Amino acid sequence: SIDISTFTKQTGFTTLDQGFVNTASTRSSITYIDGDAGILRYRGYAIEDVAQNSTYLEVAWLLIYGQLPTPSELAEFDERVRRHTLLHEDLKRFFSALPHTAHPMSVLSSAVSALSTYYEDSLDPHNPEMVELSTIRLLAKLPVIAAYAHKKSLGQAFLYPDNSLSFVENFLKLNFGNLAEIYEVNPVLVKALDRLLILHEDHEQNASTSTVRLVGSTEANMFASISAGINALYGPLHGGANEAVLKMLKEINDSGEGVQRFVERVKNKEDGIRLMGFGHRVYKSFDPRAKLVKESADEVLEALGVQDPLLDIAKELEQVALADEYFIERKLYPNVDFYTGIIYKAMGFPTRMFTVLFAIGRLPGWIAHWREMNEDPRTKIGRPQQLYVGEPAREWPAAR
Ligand code: ACO
């Protein structure tokens, strides 16, 4: 590979690469993907091993600091995150200004932006201590904001975080506990949610991470950059796909049109419909995360005693698509989002919270990339070129 900026300067050439299909925007040592072989590694560790053996906060440490933490480093990190879970009481009033129908992704990105207003004296991207503090604050507070967005949509009271609980237990209680009853944390849900969050923690230069890096390259603070990343994740071609998959499965179920007929409509590109949760820019044989999520879907539904016809439809869709020339030719396989929605639904989350769960999962990756970019002396402001295809120079009309 050559450094294209040097090449461009020397030759005067500009490359047009719509959608950045073949352009690396940075060097990175966080995540490795081999899309043809279906390999994903965090800091060199296979995703299968990470998902099997770790926890959300341990993986966050790994991604952010580059190595696995020692037990005492992890305990101290966990303790610091727990100490920062509270939101300023004034910020809680921010939620009252929004309609209860607000999409929780909009609430999340606005609240992260608003959160930074409480810390204006500690946002300096060049001060390592402040960067550390912003890291902890975001990890601690994003799940609380997410749970409040959920509670707000239900018209229920916000709970205070219970810092005697683990990260995932606390998050479940904030979402599903209420003031009137003692909340019993279900260990099946804790294990499954921890695993799903781990699988989402990083995925190199995807659209939202690239957004975080682009905004951060202007030396904007971490909160501003991550709020932008949340907005990029919202779209149905990216994180919003998990919500779109469930809607699609529900429509197939409710309409009774059958899987075969639906797949035909996708192939005919009727109204531009796509098989949501299928296809990936990078994975061209299989998405290793999808395989792990599918296993979890079976385990969780069985453990919870849930029988969901949408899981049967998803499995049939996968089978039909994987045997069909249209999908084979285009190398389209289930991606991480294909089965996640079914698990989130079984856990009790409403469809509109699915992408929010993805955002909590992806947060450590966003932070790791933002920090890597800021620590790299070669970083420059991101500023793509364009090929101008508009009018040539024109005379301003004398009389108008
Ligand atoms: N269903 C049907 N056809 C598809 C699908 C799909 N899900 N995905 C791609 N195709 C077809 C396209 O129509 C195109 O066909 P054509 O050559 O006949 O025009 C061909 O496959 C190539 O598609 P592109 O859009 O060029 O592929 P790209 O790499 O740009 O897009 C993307 C990747 C956005 C993920 C796409 O596969 C898609 O829209 N999938 C559905 C949405 C989804 O699940 N997104 C989640 C991605 S993973 C994540 O963000 C966590």
Cα angle: 242, vertex 177, 75; to 5 degrees: 80
The stretch 137-152 carries a mean pLDDT of 97
Q: Is the CB of 332 under 6 A from ligand 1?
A: yes
pLDDT at 11 over 90: no
CA of 71 to the centre of ligand 1 (A): 42
Closest residue by Cα to atom 44, ligand 1, is 277
Tens of pLDDT, residue by residue over 379-390, are 999 999 999 999
Sign of the four-CA dihedral 169, 175, 178, 181: negative
Ligand 1 mutation pick, 23, 268, 280, 324, max ligand atoms within 8 A of CB = 280
CB of 336 within 6 A of ligand 1: the answer is yes
What's the CA gap between 351 and 241, in Å, rounded? 11
User: Region 363-380: what's the mean pLDDT?
Assistant: 97
Amino acid at 379: T
pTM to 2 decimals? 0.93
What pLDDT does residue 17 have?
94
Query: Which residue owns the Cα nearest ligand 1 atom 39?
Result: 237
Q: What is the Cα–Cα distance from 266 to 40, expressed in whole angstroms?
A: 29
pLDDT digits (tens, 9 = 90+) for 292-319: 998 888 889 898 898 889 989 999 999 9
The Cα 31–Cα 320 span in angstroms is: 32
CA of 317 to the centre of ligand 1 (A): 16
Mean pLDDT of 213-221: 97
Q: Does the beta carbon of 281 lie inside 6 Å of ligand 1?
A: yes
Pocket test for ligand 1, best of 23, 320, 335 (most atoms within 8 A of CB): 335
pLDDT for the residue numbered 170? 96
Quick one: pLDDT at residue 181?
A: 83
Q: pLDDT for 245-277, tens place per residue?
A: 999 999 999 999 999 999 999 999 998 999 999
1 pLDDT exceeds 70? no
Q: Which residues are catalytic?
A: 280, 337
| pLDDT confidence tier of residue 180, bands split at 50, 70 and 90 | confident
232 lines ligand 1 (CB under 6 A): no
Tokens of 96: 């009252």
pLDDT digits (tens, 9 = 90+) for 273-297: 999 999 999 999 889 999 999 888 8
Q: What share of the chain has pLDDT > 70, as a percent?
A: 99
Average pLDDT over every residue of 215-231:
98
By alpha-carbon position, which residue is closest to atom 34 of ligand 1? Answer: 237
Nearest CA to ligand 1 atom 31: 281
169 lines ligand 1 (CB under 6 A): no
Average pLDDT value for residue range 54-60 = 98
| Mean pLDDT calculated for residue range 77-90 | 96
What HEC string does 104-131 produce?
Answer: HHHHHHHHHHHHHHHHHHHCCCCCHHHH
Over residues 124-139, mean pLDDT: 97
pLDDT at res. 169: 96
Burial of 320 (0-12, 13-18, 19+ CB in 10 A): middle
Average pLDDT of every residue of the chain: 94
Ligand 1 center from residue 284 Cα (angstroms): 11
C-beta 274 within 6 A of ligand 1: yes
> In whole angstroms, what is the distance from residue 306 CA to residue 98 CA?
34
Could you tell me the pLDDT band of residue 2, with boundaries at 50, 70 and 90?
low
